[in-house]
Structure 1
Amino acid sequence: MSPVRFVALGDSLTQGVGDPTVDGWRGWAALLADGLGTGPGTSARFTNLAVSGAQTRDVLEQQLPVALALRPELAAVVVGVNDTLRRTFDIHAVAARLDRVYGALAGQGAVLLTACLPDPGGVLGLPGALARPLARRQQAVNTVVHALSERYGAVHLHAAEGAWVTDRALWSADRLHPGERGHRHLALRFHALLAEAGLAPGAAPSPEPQSPLPTRAANLRWLATAGTGWVLRRCTDLLPNLLALAADEVRHRARGTGAHLDLRAGAAVSAALAAVAVPERRTRRGEAAQPA
């Protein structure tokens, strides 16, 4: 029996940022691939197409054609956080792109792996007026991912909340990407779901890191060099818009009309999902549906 062909699409999370090795970033998808072998010492035929900074447009236009050419039996699509960090965020466009990506891969017979993720403002510990607009955006993306994952029978991981989000031992110095322990945590949870569905014959990844935890000095050096550049590249576009969103948040809270912002966001998500054509319903794998 030949090894399963596993392809991963997405952004820096799936690329493996936060889990360095001598050969570069590794990450949860590569760790998971080692547990998908058909026998002792084997692993999946794994290709990681994820790129740091990728948005849903990048996955659709650049990563999907390569993935389809590889004809994977298992395809991970975890993306959307970078969309929420852009001035041009549009949940209608996000829903349409994800529907096309999921549909194309599922149409070839691939089993999809998807996940809902924590909002970056909460993970970073931003003040409420700044954090709430980002949380609202990430909740919108998660709601879309939940709905489309059910539609296409994806193996779906609920990772938007829980103890792992606030456990600093699982996160890297930038507080936006898991460290090695966090990537192993995600790989283990995905492996458990796949094993439950009879799709992971290999051993589960080890939860224990192979590399020593970076020292505080090493974390500070990273933040002062590569980390600072990573943040600045994203904040240049987002910051003016986020400040405007925060000001709107403060005005609504002062008037006692904060719920209107939630209602507006919910209506936008409903409209976005309604605009996506509903194919024939498929049997869903993975965890039971939960509200985003």
Structure 2
Amino acid sequence: MALHDESLPTLAGTTALPGDPPRWTRYVACGDSFTEGLWDAPDGQDAPLRGWADQLASHLSRRRTAAGADPLTYANLAVRGRLMRPILTEQVPAALALEPDLVSIVGGGNDILRPSVDVDRVAAEIERVVAAVRARGVDVLLSTGFDSRDSPLVRTTRSRVGIFNAHIWSIARRQGAYVLDPWGMRSLRDWRMWSEDRIHLTTEGHTRVAQGALVALGQVPDRADWDDPLAPPPPVPRIEQARADARWLREHAYPWATRRLRRRSSGDLRVPKRPDPAPVE
């Protein structure tokens, strides 16, 4: 994507010039399965997962080295299944110990799936932590939740996500943070952007989100064409859709519900995939 010649304003009130390398030297990503990268596996399901945060780090590092600066160093502490509280109380302190100048704090989806969630309380905890991180001079990237209106199951959470998103934008305004906005991304309403479990993104979906993160950070122009929808898919016969729905219920929805009843998480016993900062080649 070509950059315009004019300077690019960012949400935190700074200005990025097209010829300048990104000013961040160390980025640490915190979050759940979304930031861990499920299911962005361009090298096959047995290869390490990538994800939008890895892609974002790669874009930022490439732009730094192209301008003659050192590569970005990057760590990813996200673990699938994590609720917002452990992200804030465990991952963020660990991230700060790595001395980053950019941290992404992205989560809340696992909380919002629970009908008993207090979204206002979750938002208050996020703001407390974001304020503390910003007080140390570290930039913060937050994210809205996805718009689930086209999902037969997850759309029951849409009103809670809307409240959460309003909090995220207000927190960012008060604390000087950046906001990645998947809710507003038209392309993510296409089911071809979603994996078979209908909760996590494909490689193409993660790539679109990484572009959205670059826009949020003021690293590319906020142009309409970066989020163009895909061409309409061919119609799916009703019987084929019914079979796909039955397979999804059997292979994804039932195991997920069973874990919830047993108070277990897909991330139990898992550790971060990239716990130590390393240069992004």
- With normalisation by structure 1, the TM-score equals 0.64
Note the residue ranges of structure 1 that are not aligned, 5 or more in a row: 199-203, 205-219, 238-292
The Cα of 1:232 is off from its aligned counterpart by 3.4
AA aligned opposite 1:151? R
Secondary structure class of the residue paired with 1:75: strand
1:209-263 Cα shifts (integer Å, max 9, x gaps): xxxxxxxxxxx999865775345324767xxxxxxxxxxxxxxxxxxxxxxxxxx
AA aligned opposite 2:40? D
Task: Give the one of 152, 156, 165 matched to 1:125.
Answer: 152
The Cα of 1:58 is off from its aligned counterpart by 1.0
User: CA contact under 8 A between 1:15 and 1:26: conserved in structure 2?
Assistant: yes
The Cα of 1:15 is off from its aligned counterpart by 0.8
> 2:94 corresponds to which residue?
66
> 1:84 corresponds to which residue?
112
Between stretches 225-234 and 161-170, larger displacement belongs to: 225-234
1:211-230 aligned within 5 A: 228-230=254-256
> 1:34 corresponds to which residue?
58
1:1-292 aligned within 5 A: 4-20=25-41, 21=43, 22-37=46-61, 38-40=64-66, 43-120=71-148, 122-126=149-153, 131-132=155-156, 134-196=157-219, 228-234=254-260
AA aligned opposite 2:106? V
User: CA contact under 8 A between 1:174 and 1:223: conserved in structure 2?
Assistant: no
AA aligned opposite 1:7? V
> 1:287 corresponds to which residue?
none
1:90-114 Cα shifts (integer Å, max 9, x gaps): 1232022101221122122111111
- Rounded to whole Å, the distance in 1 between the matches of 2:175 and 2:78 is 21
AA aligned opposite 2:122? V
Between stretches 33-42 and 49-58, larger displacement belongs to: 33-42
- Rounded to whole Å, the distance in 2 between the matches of 1:10 and 1:67 is 11
- Rounded to whole Å, the distance in 2 between the matches of 1:23 and 1:97 is 35
User: CA contact under 8 A between 2:188 and 2:205: conserved in structure 1?
Assistant: no
Secondary structure class of the residue paired with 1:39: helix
Closer, same or farther in 2 for the Cα pair 1:65/1:188, shift >3 Å?
Answer: same
User: CA contact under 8 A between 1:85 and 1:234: conserved in structure 2?
Assistant: no
- Rounded to whole Å, the distance in 1 between the matches of 2:220 and 2:171 is 19
Secondary structure class of the residue paired with 1:71: coil
Number of matched residues?
216
- Rounded to whole Å, the distance in 1 between the matches of 2:80 and 2:96 is 20
The Cα of 1:87 is off from its aligned counterpart by 4.1
The Cα of 1:74 is off from its aligned counterpart by 0.7
Closer, same or farther in 2 for the Cα pair 1:63/1:123, shift >3 Å?
Answer: farther
1:46-89 Cα shifts (integer Å, max 9, x gaps): 11111111111111221111011112111111111111112430
Note the residue ranges of structure 2 that are not aligned, 5 or more in a row: 1-20, 227-245, 264-281
User: CA contact under 8 A between 2:24 and 2:102: conserved in structure 1?
Assistant: no
